Amino acid sequence: MSALLENFRSLSLSNELSKEQLALATQWETVVKSGQIQGHIEELNLRLRDHSFILGTVTPTETDAIVFESVFTVIKDLLASSKDVKGHYAQYRHIIRWCAYLQEILEVSEDNKLSLNYDLELPR
Protein backbone atom coordinates (compact mmCIF):
# COMPACT_ATOMS: atom_id res chain seq x y z
CA MET A 1 0.00 0.00 0.00
CA SER A 2 1.31 3.43 -0.86
CA ALA A 3 2.14 6.00 1.78
CA LEU A 4 -0.56 8.31 0.48
CA LEU A 5 -3.23 5.67 0.76
CA GLU A 6 -2.01 4.84 4.23
CA ASN A 7 -2.28 8.51 5.16
CA PHE A 8 -5.79 8.54 3.78
CA ARG A 9 -6.89 5.53 5.80
CA SER A 10 -5.53 7.09 8.96
CA LEU A 11 -7.98 9.97 8.46
CA SER A 12 -10.88 7.59 9.11
CA LEU A 13 -13.29 9.49 6.89
CA SER A 14 -16.30 7.47 5.99
CA ASN A 15 -18.96 7.89 3.36
CA GLU A 16 -21.77 5.53 2.59
CA LEU A 17 -21.73 4.98 -1.13
CA SER A 18 -24.62 4.36 -3.46
CA LYS A 19 -24.44 1.81 -6.28
CA GLU A 20 -23.79 4.59 -8.73
CA GLN A 21 -20.92 5.91 -6.64
CA LEU A 22 -19.44 2.43 -6.27
CA ALA A 23 -19.56 2.01 -10.04
CA LEU A 24 -17.82 5.35 -10.51
CA ALA A 25 -15.18 4.32 -8.00
CA THR A 26 -14.46 1.12 -9.93
CA GLN A 27 -14.36 3.05 -13.18
CA TRP A 28 -11.77 5.53 -11.95
CA GLU A 29 -9.69 2.92 -10.18
CA THR A 30 -9.57 0.88 -13.40
CA VAL A 31 -8.33 3.92 -15.29
CA VAL A 32 -5.54 4.36 -12.73
CA LYS A 33 -4.58 0.69 -12.82
CA SER A 34 -4.39 0.65 -16.60
CA GLY A 35 -2.07 3.65 -16.54
CA GLN A 36 -4.41 5.63 -18.76
CA ILE A 37 -4.99 8.58 -16.46
CA GLN A 38 -3.33 11.06 -18.80
CA GLY A 39 -6.01 10.36 -21.39
CA HIS A 40 -8.76 11.00 -18.84
CA ILE A 41 -7.60 14.33 -17.51
CA GLU A 42 -10.34 16.29 -19.29
CA GLU A 43 -13.00 13.92 -18.01
CA LEU A 44 -11.66 14.21 -14.47
CA ASN A 45 -11.66 17.98 -14.67
CA LEU A 46 -15.27 17.94 -15.84
CA ARG A 47 -16.25 15.62 -13.02
CA LEU A 48 -14.57 17.90 -10.49
CA ARG A 49 -16.21 20.97 -11.98
CA ASP A 50 -19.52 19.98 -10.42
CA HIS A 51 -18.28 17.86 -7.54
CA SER A 52 -15.79 18.74 -4.84
CA PHE A 53 -14.69 15.11 -4.68
CA ILE A 54 -14.79 12.47 -7.42
CA LEU A 55 -17.69 10.45 -6.08
CA GLY A 56 -19.72 13.50 -5.12
CA THR A 57 -19.27 12.82 -1.43
CA VAL A 58 -19.07 15.40 1.33
CA THR A 59 -15.53 14.35 2.30
CA PRO A 60 -12.91 12.65 0.11
CA THR A 61 -12.99 8.90 -0.45
CA GLU A 62 -10.25 6.38 -1.13
CA THR A 63 -10.94 6.86 -4.84
CA ASP A 64 -9.80 10.47 -4.49
CA ALA A 65 -6.57 9.33 -2.84
CA ILE A 66 -5.91 6.67 -5.49
CA VAL A 67 -6.59 8.97 -8.44
CA PHE A 68 -4.67 11.80 -6.78
CA GLU A 69 -1.58 9.67 -6.57
CA SER A 70 -1.39 9.25 -10.33
CA VAL A 71 -2.73 12.65 -11.38
CA PHE A 72 -0.62 14.76 -9.06
CA THR A 73 2.63 14.38 -11.02
CA VAL A 74 0.84 15.01 -14.31
CA ILE A 75 -0.57 18.30 -13.01
CA LYS A 76 2.70 19.30 -11.42
CA ASP A 77 4.57 18.74 -14.68
CA LEU A 78 1.93 20.66 -16.55
CA LEU A 79 2.25 23.70 -14.31
CA ALA A 80 6.03 23.51 -14.01
CA SER A 81 6.96 23.12 -17.66
CA SER A 82 4.40 25.21 -19.39
CA LYS A 83 4.82 28.63 -20.92
CA ASP A 84 1.12 29.25 -20.70
CA VAL A 85 0.75 28.74 -16.96
CA LYS A 86 -2.37 30.85 -16.70
CA GLY A 87 -3.97 28.97 -19.57
CA HIS A 88 -3.40 25.67 -17.83
CA TYR A 89 -4.64 27.05 -14.54
CA ALA A 90 -7.80 28.11 -16.30
CA GLN A 91 -8.25 24.87 -18.20
CA TYR A 92 -7.60 22.50 -15.32
CA ARG A 93 -8.72 24.68 -12.44
CA HIS A 94 -10.99 22.03 -11.01
CA ILE A 95 -8.32 19.35 -10.84
CA ILE A 96 -5.88 21.91 -9.46
CA ARG A 97 -8.29 22.92 -6.71
CA TRP A 98 -8.90 19.30 -5.84
CA CYS A 99 -5.13 18.58 -5.79
CA ALA A 100 -4.59 21.59 -3.53
CA TYR A 101 -7.11 20.18 -1.08
CA LEU A 102 -5.83 16.61 -1.16
CA GLN A 103 -2.15 17.49 -0.85
CA GLU A 104 -2.99 19.12 2.48
CA ILE A 105 -5.04 16.33 4.02
CA LEU A 106 -2.74 13.62 2.66
CA GLU A 107 0.25 15.49 4.09
CA VAL A 108 2.36 15.63 0.97
CA SER A 109 5.81 16.84 2.04
CA GLU A 110 6.44 20.55 1.60
CA ASP A 111 9.00 20.19 -1.17
CA ASN A 112 6.68 17.94 -3.16
CA LYS A 113 3.67 20.18 -2.90
CA LEU A 114 2.22 22.21 -5.70
CA SER A 115 2.63 25.83 -4.77
CA LEU A 116 -0.30 27.75 -6.12
CA ASN A 117 -1.30 31.29 -6.68
CA TYR A 118 -4.82 31.10 -5.28
CA ASP A 119 -5.75 34.60 -6.34
CA LEU A 120 -4.69 34.31 -9.95
CA GLU A 121 -7.42 35.91 -12.02
CA LEU A 122 -8.91 33.31 -14.31
CA PRO A 123 -11.46 33.88 -17.04
CA ARG A 124 -14.88 32.44 -16.26
Please state, in angstroms and rounded to a whole number, the distance separating the CA atoms of residues 84 and 61: 32
Q: Does 86 bind another protein (CB under 8 A)?
A: no
Pair 122, 88: CB distance under 8 Å? no
Q: Does 46 bind another protein (CB under 8 A)?
A: no
- Name every residue whose Cβ is closer than 8 Å to that of residue 33 and which is 6 or more positions away in sequence: none
| Cβ 33 to another protein shortest distance, Å | 27
Of 41, 97, 107, 113, which one interacts with another protein (CB under 8 A)?
A: 97
State the residues that interact with another protein by CB under 8 A: 49-52, 57-58, 89, 93, 96-98, 100-101, 104-105, 116, 118, 120-122, 124
